[in-house]
Structure 1
Amino acid sequence: MLAKPTYVKELLSRYTAGQRDFRNLNLIAANLRNLNLSGANFSGSNLAKANLTGANLSQANLTDVVLTGANLTNTNLTRANLTNVSLNDVDLNRAILRSAIIPQSS
């Protein structure tokens, strides 16, 4: 099931209102390109094949997130927590990973 554009609009609305807890969401193939989601908690969410190109995910909690096939080109992952995340088949071209918590197997 693909993430519907209404889910992305609701996510942005909640983020703008100050919410940061977005655990266990289904955002398969969501277009989150160039969005500022700094400090958000996406733990347990499914972001497979999501377009996160140029997004700001600095200080985000991405623990146990599914990123298979996701595009993280130019994504800011500074101080993001990627514990228990497989980075196989993820495009990290020019991603900023400064002080990120990255799984040892990746």
Structure 2
Amino acid sequence: GAILDHADLTSAILQKANLTEANLFGANLSDADLSGVILDHADLRGAIITSQQLETAHSIKNVIRV
């Protein structure tokens, strides 16, 4: 997966991106467009992201958020 730890993805358009197993640890995803994104097994620990954003994603199986 992609390594995007601590990346500033504020307002990024990630529509339909496949971020399976991506490392998004501590990334800033505030206001990012996650519609249709695949986040299966992604590491979102410490990431700035809302539940509403995750609801628009295509798949969020086994995402790590703790």
Q: Give me the TM-score of the superposition, normalised by structure 2.
A: 0.75
Report if the CA contact (8 A) 1:67-1:87 is conserved: yes
Which 5+ residue runs of structure 1 have no aligned equivalent?
Answer: 1-53
Higher relative contact order (CA 8 A, sep 6+): 2
Identical columns (%) = 47
Runs in 1 of length 4+ with deviation above 3 angstroms?
A: none
Q: Give me the TM-score of the superposition, normalised by structure 1.
A: 0.48
Which 5+ residue runs of structure 2 have no aligned equivalent?
Answer: 54-66
Aligned length: 53
Is 2:8 aligned against 1:61?
yes
CA deviations over 1:2-21 (Å, ceiling 9, x no partner): xxxxxxxxxxxxxxxxxxxx
Q: CA RMSD in A?
A: 1.0
- The one-letter amino acid paired with 2:45 is R
Bigger Rg, structure 1 or 2:
1
Equivalent residue number for residue 75 of structure 1: 22
